[in-house]
Amino acid sequence: MAVDYNLEGQTAVITGSTSGIGQAMAAALAEQGVNVVLNGFGDPAKIEAYRLAMQKSTNARVLYHGADMTKPGEIADLIAYAQAELGRLDILVNNAGIQHVSPVESFPDDRWDTLIAINLSSVFHATKAAIPLMKAQGRGRIVNIASAHGLVASPFKGAYVAAKFGVVGFTKACALELARSGVTANAICPGYVKTPLVEAQIVDQAKARGIAPERVIEEVILAAQPNKTFVEYSQLAGMLLYLVSDMGASTTGAALSIDGGWTAA
């Protein structure tokens, strides 16, 4: 049976979509004919080239808005821009995120504040702006890219773990509030995905430890991931497309693991 996600003509905002998971999720939606607003930092020329290439290779309109996810006013502008340019907002993917690794006692205060702002508070601000639009439409899909670290902790990632547990809790509260409105809210909790960020970590760790990249992957990066295999973008896209389609209508308030068994332990 061929699966038809039936998303043609819908609209989406994907925060932090100039790189890694967000960029891949934006491409997956655009390939289904969803008109998308990209967001995130990076070289303006590269972002524009990518935006044009995505638009050319799909049936979708692809726009870009440079809102800084630490700034509530800019986040509200991003959602208003999507509504003004595309006429409606069907899908919000809260994906922007950063990492900082440090013991709690020496965790820099400003890194804590920035990480919480991007990884947690931006999810609140974007969702707050999107809900009235989605409620008025009688349908909407909020998908928060949390992490396995939204379900279990690791040392030295206190801010990240706090933010991602927060995202999972906030997702559940939204799902309950929105349960009768046609709007769903879910969190995707990936294990390690080989994004540019993780690729750089492999190179750095191999140098620092004087071991081969393959050993870094298995013994350091994927130490907690029982299948010792990175999560693929296509696997995340499959989960996202399910959630945002009509097939996902009864799935709300879920924290869906896609982590090679990490959180089973």
CB contact set of 11 (below 8 Å; sequence gap of 6+): 34, 35, 36, 37, 82, 86, 87, 88, 89, 90, 91
- Interface map 176-215 toward ligand NAD (x if CB under 6 A): --------------x-xx-xxxx-----------------
As measured in angstroms, the least distance from the Cβ of 246 to ligand NAD is: 25
CB contact set of 21 (below 8 Å; sequence gap of 6+): 95, 145, 190, 193, 195, 233, 236
Q: Of 5, 50, 160, 233, which one is the catalytic site residue?
A: 160
Among residue numbers 126 through 145, which ones bind ligand NAD (CB under 6 A)?
Answer: 145
Please indicate whether residue 233 is annotated as part of the active site: no
> Residue 193's closest CA among 184, 202, 185?
202
Contact flag: residue 70 with ligand NAD (CB under 6 A): yes
Among residue numbers 79 through 118, which ones bind ligand NAD (CB under 6 A)?
Answer: 95-98, 118
Contact flag: residue 239 with ligand NAD (CB under 6 A): no
CA distance 119 to 155: 18
Contact flag: residue 220 with ligand NAD (CB under 6 A): no
> Residue 31's closest CA among 177, 220, 233?
233
As measured in angstroms, the least distance from the Cβ of 168 to ligand NAD is: 12
Question: 15 near 96, Cβ under 8 Å?
Answer: yes
Positions marked active-site: 160
Question: Given the rule CB under 6 A, which residues bind ligand NAD?
Answer: 16-22, 39-42, 68-70, 95-98, 118, 145, 147, 190, 192-193, 195-198
